[in-house]
Structure 1
């Protein structure tokens, strides 16, 4: 099994190429496993500050990872700021939708809460982007990075022995089922951005805390009698939330939660049957649902890594925390993971151009800076998911009182708005760049 020594050229069979198509060295400052939303964003942020970055991707050149599908991503203002600063949102070819207000209600409970961006001196809280469109924008930006080494399609196999001066990973060229040759890549720092069922996390021996919410989330786009007007709706119910997000193509992004025991039955419904069920759960604030696109479904399971760092390794995005989509905070939280790491490395390299990207002090600083945001965001998402879907009669007046209070008390609104806009804890500078 060949090992690429420091600063040696990659073999001609290497899957690592920069934008010029030329092979790149196998020793990197940072090696990222996972080319999805967070991994690709991190690669852009790190290459932007002059690092030698390797990106291990399961998808072949010319194909997007499976995560870039018809799902609808809600980008908080902090995320919009950062992705604009990174030159990604400028690459969007399809229009995004502005979130100018957020309407929260619960079926069977009185009261509702309405958050309006203009009351906080903003034109919008964030934007809605289709995952496929975002994937294409990320790909266009990645193609512009001259120093980035992309290993694709390449599979992470496990860790290799190392002397501690670098991390070493075993990879194989080619997709699943291929017999591509196995080799070892080395870097100062390994980043696991390979999703909820992270192979890197398992290889590092990091355990997880897991909770199944007993819900399956159906995702699609919906055409309604009333086109989007900038309102994002969160309609809570006994089986979970039904959300409508204002897309930029005059459709809504729909997320409809059903009890997992009903998922197969709902998946078998024709378009008319599915629309009727979603309409019953959501109500008529957007008028009649007239049609929907292809549907996909995903289990609602919270997975929290018990640690987010190990020796010369960091977990981020869904590998570190996969949370319930209520409140739409998953990718926003993962991006702040990525940008915090990039910022810490940038500061270290400014002070010392030879600074070690995987130094224990740097990783300890990362954990400390991410602590408040991670704990508050995951706790808020979990608490809201459990409380909002609890059928207990005694909770109904408390929930209604809560909605009423949020609608009337500025302090309660400010707490929700700050989180919705991505400003929890020690936020990376790029997230605030356009908010200054």
Structure 2
């Protein structure tokens, strides 16, 4: 059953039938979030802080973390650090985080490179590197502190419907919790359940999917030089290689390989894997000495054809899952969530207390996310495609592009803004604090 025990049903609650033929009241939430991962949990915290009644549907049982909270390394842009600090999550991190003070981008076989330095743009750093598992534990600790969140776990989303043509209607949501059917109602349903979103399918929202033909290996890496705040992106025909400066004096390594080489690379021992990574990346960060356990993920892009349906929205990877090149994915999804929080707060200030699924709010959400979403997807996808294109005819153009990005102030300004997490209509909690 739900944990903690839900409060007594509200007066407008519906009746649902249990397997033994009895009836009980169906709980109604202001907002029901399906997905307790990075973005879903962050959204639940932000809404509970402002007094919204939140239901959080999680696939994992109490005491467990979703698989996404593993040993991969997350790069939080400055805007995300601002938001997560305001939510009280950054303060819960137990492991040290790593500052990103410089971003170095290059490509195998091409001349030139791009070097972005935070100090040249009035910042001490572009953001922080956080281990996903530590972030998951911090989110869990913060969620547990907020009584306004009713957690359904382990639970699986099954279906949803809405009474058509009525502004006062609610989303009807069917879950399976512990093998038993559970009926809930919500003024707003949020799909935060990942790239293979069941909520997205149930809403009838289509999506475009692109396979990059790459598999990304992720692990902790020790070199003979300590990281000094530089994040490296090395592009190549087999995929990107990235080094992120962690807070424990190691790097977080991402090594992209062609999909048809993933199995033999998986079979390499540590010494052979390090040798391959060194040959691909080069020696800018020193000699590669040791790596931790490896995980691997296919590189794909999934883009929902719409962000909203009647009394429902998509956030995070359910809305768009992008190539991790440039570390934009979580930051983009968090801005989805924080934009939704902005609009809900505005709705309450305007006197429409509790009607968070109103069509006007959903239209505003779609409009506010349009510019940031389009620009970030285009940047990530374009960089991945151009970086992997080994055509010798494009080499001069790629080198000119690197030179322009490194030398032209207008181009650098756009890159820096994206690295800091400031694109489009920036949510309030993501803005630079006073």
Preserved CA contact (<8 Å) 1:7 1:25: no
After TM superposition, give the deviation of residue 408 of structure 1 in Å: 1.2
Aligned twin of 1:126: 127
Range with greater deviation from structure 2 (73-82 or 399-408): 399-408
Q: Scaled by the length of structure 2, what TM-score is found?
A: 0.93
Asked if 1:101 corresponds to 2:102, the answer is yes
Asked if 1:60 corresponds to 2:64, the answer is no
SS at match of 1:70: coil
Aligned twin of 1:168: 172
Asked if 1:43 corresponds to 2:47, the answer is no
- CA deviation vs aligned residue, 1:254-280 (integer Å, no higher than 9, x gap): 011000011111111111111111111
Preserved CA contact (<8 Å) 1:103 1:234: yes
- CA deviation vs aligned residue, 1:234-258 (integer Å, no higher than 9, x gap): 0011111100000001110001100
SS at match of 1:284: coil
After TM superposition, give the deviation of residue 26 of structure 1 in Å: 1.5
**Alpha-carbon distance between aligned partners in 2 of 1:10 and 1:182, rounded to the nearest angstrom:** 15
Aligned twin of 1:352: 351
After TM superposition, give the deviation of residue 354 of structure 1 in Å: 2.4
The unaligned stretches of length 5 or more in structure 1 are: 15-23, 175-179
Preserved CA contact (<8 Å) 1:91 1:141: yes
- CA deviation vs aligned residue, 1:51-88 (integer Å, no higher than 9, x gap): 00000000111111110001100000000011001110
**Alpha-carbon distance between aligned partners in 2 of 1:387 and 1:363, rounded to the nearest angstrom:** 35
Range with greater deviation from structure 2 (151-160 or 41-50): 151-160
SS at match of 2:412: helix
Aligned twin of 2:196: 197
**Alpha-carbon distance between aligned partners in 1 of 2:74 and 2:257, rounded to the nearest angstrom:** 20
Preserved CA contact (<8 Å) 1:82 1:433: no
Preserved CA contact (<8 Å) 2:62 2:153: yes
SS at match of 2:274: helix
Aligned twin of 1:17: none
SS at match of 1:285: coil
Aligned twin of 1:272: 271
**Alpha-carbon distance between aligned partners in 1 of 2:184 and 2:10, rounded to the nearest angstrom:** 10
Aligned twin of 2:324: 325
Aligned twin of 2:378: 379
Aligned twin of 1:29: 30
Aligned twin of 1:183: 182
Preserved CA contact (<8 Å) 2:223 2:290: yes
**Alpha-carbon distance between aligned partners in 1 of 2:422 and 2:11, rounded to the nearest angstrom:** 40
**Alpha-carbon distance between aligned partners in 1 of 2:428 and 2:52, rounded to the nearest angstrom:** 19
Range with greater deviation from structure 2 (397-406 or 93-102): 397-406
4+ long deviations beyond 6 Å? 8-11
Q: Scaled by the length of structure 1, what TM-score is found?
A: 0.93
**Alpha-carbon distance between aligned partners in 2 of 1:51 and 1:137, rounded to the nearest angstrom:** 21
- CA deviation vs aligned residue, 1:342-371 (integer Å, no higher than 9, x gap): 110101111115241000010000000000
SS at match of 1:394: helix
- CA deviation vs aligned residue, 1:268-300 (integer Å, no higher than 9, x gap): 111111111111110011111111111111111
SS at match of 1:209: strand
Aligned twin of 2:81: 80
**CA 393–147 in structure 1, closer or farther in 2 if over 3 Å, else same:** same
SS at match of 1:143: helix
- CA deviation vs aligned residue, 1:378-410 (integer Å, no higher than 9, x gap): 011101100111011111111111111111111
After TM superposition, give the deviation of residue 160 of structure 1 in Å: 4.4
SS at match of 1:115: strand
The unaligned stretches of length 5 or more in structure 2 are: 1-7, 19-24
**Alpha-carbon distance between aligned partners in 2 of 1:264 and 1:367, rounded to the nearest angstrom:** 41
After TM superposition, give the deviation of residue 184 of structure 1 in Å: 0.8
Aligned twin of 1:19: none
**Alpha-carbon distance between aligned partners in 2 of 1:388 and 1:403, rounded to the nearest angstrom:** 11
Q: How many residues align?
A: 416
**Alpha-carbon distance between aligned partners in 2 of 1:160 and 1:347, rounded to the nearest angstrom:** 26
Preserved CA contact (<8 Å) 1:97 1:127: yes
- CA deviation vs aligned residue, 1:296-332 (integer Å, no higher than 9, x gap): 1111110000001001110110000000001100000
Aligned twin of 2:339: 340
**Alpha-carbon distance between aligned partners in 1 of 2:94 and 2:50, rounded to the nearest angstrom:** 26
**CA 283–327 in structure 1, closer or farther in 2 if over 3 Å, else same:** same
Preserved CA contact (<8 Å) 2:203 2:309: yes
